[in-house]
């Protein structure tokens, strides 16, 4: 038999032996945020400097920490994956996990003050009420996580000239909604001093990333009014879709061996016009192999007219990839950079560009490396539950390892057993051959 005539699939079967009632799939909040476990993550260091007006942050940068030139603490989680309706790429998420991605209090059934997002001092000593200073922001409960309960809340405080924090706004927990807009005056004399600050803080369960609040596009400036809802900005929003059809990551040699079936038909990007007037946007793509900086594709994608305060999703046909790596086992990273020229002087440069990487390494993966919830199986009494993942190979290969992240559990995973079984399936002319490799991991 010729190996090339086979489609080989490796099926990973996980059996969970947990003796509880009811066999069903469940999702629960995370007990750990792995975005903080990157060994290359640089520690957060606030710049200990005063900011000036206008103060604007739309979180269009790499997290997980806030911009240290604008924020004094590092407890909010900066990301672009905890929402599907953000105004611009990037939100600040407040939950029940600390700046290390771990619970504030690991025991269950505890709630209290959790994350905070505190501005650096802002010098307002030269302003008066005539300058009409307002602070605005967008907020969203739940996002792609779990909704805050009615006993949970999101608060906003201002610091006055007596160094006291004054509560100015609050919202009790509720179910998911689109982002809502809030604008508040900063004109009382007690706030017009040299060390003014504002702070968001949430009440949440302190042992999980439950009770999610997302913040976006925080803006403070002069000559504003309570009906000022326009941001003179056009911005990319959610993550672009992957160039891969079946996986988020796979070996490059398997991709090249069957590129037609492994490439997605189209790639999608979302652009939001936050301005009060229409804007024409010229979308461009620069695709490169990131490690070698080799050009992969470069094109003008489309010219799009986006109506005032509206969103536009654009789809573009995928392109063929002919990059040749140094060896057939080399790591390859194809970086798609979408961008457009600024539309006006108020347009923020950082959100005019968005990047999506396709990583080709020595593994197959369905997930994108981020996590919004934990998944588990609740078995029937005295019967193990089972789940399976299938990975299809496009050429002969060898399985050398398995990476699985088992989420932390509260209170403990003690006494919960599992088995991992590998099953190899060979298919030719409709015939299936099952092979069970000897041994199990327990």
Q: What is the mean pLDDT of the chain?
A: 88
When pLDDT is averaged across residues 206-229 and rounded to a whole number, the result is: 94
417 lies in the same domain as 306: no
Share of the chain above pLDDT 90, in %: 67
| Lookup: tokens for 139 | 């907020």
Residues 41 and 13 in one domain: no
Q: Are 38 and 23 in the same domain?
A: no
Q: Which of 212, 228, 244 lies at the terminal end of a domain, its last residue? A: 228
Alpha-carbon distance 63 to 164, whole Å?
A: 30
Other CB atoms within 10 Å distance of the CB of residue 32: 19
Backbone angles phi and psi of 190, in degrees to 5 = -65, -15
368 occurs within a structural domain: no
Structure tokens at 423: 């099953």
CB half-sphere exposure, 228, CA atoms < 13 A: 19
> Which pTM value belongs to this model?
0.90
pLDDT above 70 for 20: no
H or E segment and range at residue 389 = strand 385-393
**CB-based contact 33:62 (threshold 8 Å):** no
Beta-strand relationship, 353-360 and 332-339? antiparallel
Domain that holds residue 306: 235-360
Q: Is the same domain home to 242 and 201?
A: no
Report residue 388's pLDDT band, with 50, 70 and 90 as the boundaries: confident
Residue 91 confidence class, pLDDT cut points 50, 70, 90 = very high
My answer on whether 385 and 317 are in the same domain is no
**Across 148-157, 191-200, 332-341, 433-442, least confident range:** 433-442
Confirm whether 276 is domain-assigned.
yes
Contact by Cβ (8 Å): 250, 84: no
382 and 350, same domain (yes or no): no
Distance in angstroms (rounded) separating the CA atoms of residues 24 and 408 = 20
What pLDDT does residue 430 have?
44
User: Domain tally for the chain?
Assistant: 3
Are 55 and 195 members of one domain?
yes
CATH number reported for the structural domain that contains residue 148 in this entry: 2.60.120.260
Q: Give residue 246's pLDDT.
A: 96
Identify whether the C-beta of residue 150 lies closer than 8 Å to the C-beta of residue 137. no
3-state helix, strand, coil in the chain (%, to 5): 5, 40, 55
Last residue of a domain, one of 303, 328, 360: 360
Q: What b/e readout covers 233-259, taking b as 16+ CB neighbours within 10 angstroms?
A: bbbbbbbbbbbbebbbbbbbbbbbeee
Question: Parallel, antiparallel, or unpaired for β 134-141 and 374-378?
Answer: unpaired
The per-residue pLDDT for 231 is: 92
| Mean pLDDT of all residues in 297-317 | 96
Mean pLDDT to the nearest integer, 15-36: 71
The sign of the CA dihedral 428, 431, 432, 433 is negative
Same domain membership, residue 174 and residue 98: yes
Q: Of 181, 198, 228, which one is at a domain's C-terminal end?
A: 228
Whether 321 and 223 map to the same domain: the answer is no
Model confidence at 422, pLDDT cuts 50, 70, 90, reads confident
341/257 same-domain check = yes
Q: Could you tell me the end-to-end alpha-carbon distance of the chain, in angstroms, rounded to an integer?
A: 35
pLDDT of amino acid 41:
85
Same domain, 320 and 175: no
Mean local confidence (pLDDT), 320-329: 96
Does residue 432 have a pLDDT over 70?
no
Q: What is the per-residue pLDDT across 144-200, written as a single tens digit (0 to 9) for each?
A: 999 999 999 999 999 999 999 999 999 999 988 899 999 999 999 999 999 999 999
Strand ranges (E), 176-275: 180-185, 198-205, 213-221, 234-236, 266-273
Structure tokens at 68: 């240290």
């Amino acid at each position: 038999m010729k190996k090339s005539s086979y489609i080989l699939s490796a099926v990973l079967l996980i059996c969970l032996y947990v003796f509880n009632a009811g066999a069903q799939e469940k999702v629960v909040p995370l007990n750990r945020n792995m975005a903080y476990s990157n060994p290359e993550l640089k520690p957060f260091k606030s710049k200990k400097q005063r900011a000036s007006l206008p103060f604007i942050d739309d979180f269009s940068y790499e997290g997980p920490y806030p911009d240290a030139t604008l924020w004094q603490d590092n407890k909010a989680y900066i990301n672009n994956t905890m929402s599907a309706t953000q105004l611009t790429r990037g939100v600040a998420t407040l939950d029940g996990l600390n700046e290390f991605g771990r619970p504030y209090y690991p025991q269950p059934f505890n709630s209290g003050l959790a994350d905070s997002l505190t501005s650096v001092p802002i010098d307002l000593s030269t302003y008066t009420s005539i300058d009409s200073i307002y602070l605005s922001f967008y907020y969203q409960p739940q996002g792609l996580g779990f909704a805050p309960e009615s006993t949970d809340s999101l608060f906003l405080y201002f610091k006055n000239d007596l160094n006291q924090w004054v509560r100015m706004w609050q919202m009790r927990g509720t179910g998911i909604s689109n982002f809502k807009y809030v604008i508040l005056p900063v004109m009382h004399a007690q706030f017009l001093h040299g060390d003014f600050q504002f702070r968001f803080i949430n009440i949440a369960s302190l042992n999980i990333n439950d009770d999610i609040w997302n913040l976006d596009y925080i803006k403070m400036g002069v000559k504003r009014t309570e009906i000022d809802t326009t941001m003179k900005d056009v911005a990319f929003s959610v993550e672009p879709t992957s160039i891969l059809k079946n996986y988020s990551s796979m070996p490059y040699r398997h991709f090249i061996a069957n590129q037609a079936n492994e490439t997605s038909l189209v790639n999608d990007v979302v652009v939001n016009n936050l301005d009060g007037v229409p804007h024409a946007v010229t979308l461009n793509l620069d695709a490169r192999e990131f490690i070698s900086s080799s050009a992969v594709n470069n094109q003008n994608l489309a010219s799009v007219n986006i109506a005032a305060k509206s969103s536009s999703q654009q789809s573009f046909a995928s392109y063929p990839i002919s990059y040749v790596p140094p060896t057939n086992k080399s790591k390859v990273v194809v970086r798609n950079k979408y961008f457009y020229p600024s539309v006006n002087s108020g347009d923020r440069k950082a959100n005019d560009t968005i990047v999506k990487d396709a990583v080709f390494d020595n593994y197959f993966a369905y997930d994108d490396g981020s996590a919004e919830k934990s998944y588990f199986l609740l078995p029937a009494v005295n019967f193990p539950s089972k789940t399976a993942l299938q990975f299809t190979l496009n050429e002969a290969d060898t399985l050398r390892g398995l990476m699985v992240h088992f989420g932390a559990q509260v209170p403990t995973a003690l006494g919960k057993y599992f088995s991992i079984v590998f099953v190899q399936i060979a298919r030719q002319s409709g015939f299936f051959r099952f092979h069970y490799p000897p041994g199990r991991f327990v």
